[in-house]
Amino acid sequence: VIHSARANAAHNHGLDADKLIVEEAFVGKGLYLKRLSYHAKGRCGVRERPRCRLTVVVREATAEEEAKIAKLRVMNYKKLTRKEKQLMPHRLIEVSPKWARKRKEEEEEAGASA
């Protein structure tokens, strides 16, 4: 729903998609779907399946808010310690599954021949 609101704001209202922030989000009552529920002895009942409606309101961030967001990103940036770097898989080691490797090799061969 958030991605849809962002796309609608950019396309329909001409807002910058990179500067959008969520101002308000809430859930409302939706429609009820009525379905049959079969019972014993040839009887049936009505089962109501409730739905909900999600609403998201977005707006463009001001310059002050953008500066605040950038500051939070810098503060939350975490450098990996030496031990954490050792735990990360090395780039030379192939960690992808075998079926993905085969497809990757085929794409590289097709790209080299073209």
| CATH number reported for the structural domain that contains residue 3 in this entry | 3.90.470
Which pLDDT score is estimated for 68?
86
DSSP H helix total and E strand total for the chain: 4, 2
**Structure-block tokens of residue 92:** 């030379």
Q: What is the pTM of this model?
A: 0.53
Judge contact between 5 and 16, C-beta under 8 A. Answer: no
Tell me the C-alpha distance between 29 and 46, whole Å.
20
Residue type at position 99: W
Q: Are 19 and 61 in contact (CB under 8 A)?
A: yes
Domain count, the chain: 1
Of 11, 7, 10, 5, nearest in space to 24 by CA: 5
The per-residue pLDDT for range 42-65, each reduced to its tens digit, is 999 999 999 999 999 999 989 998
Domain containing residue 108: 1-112
- Regions of the chain short of the pLDDT cut 50: 91-94
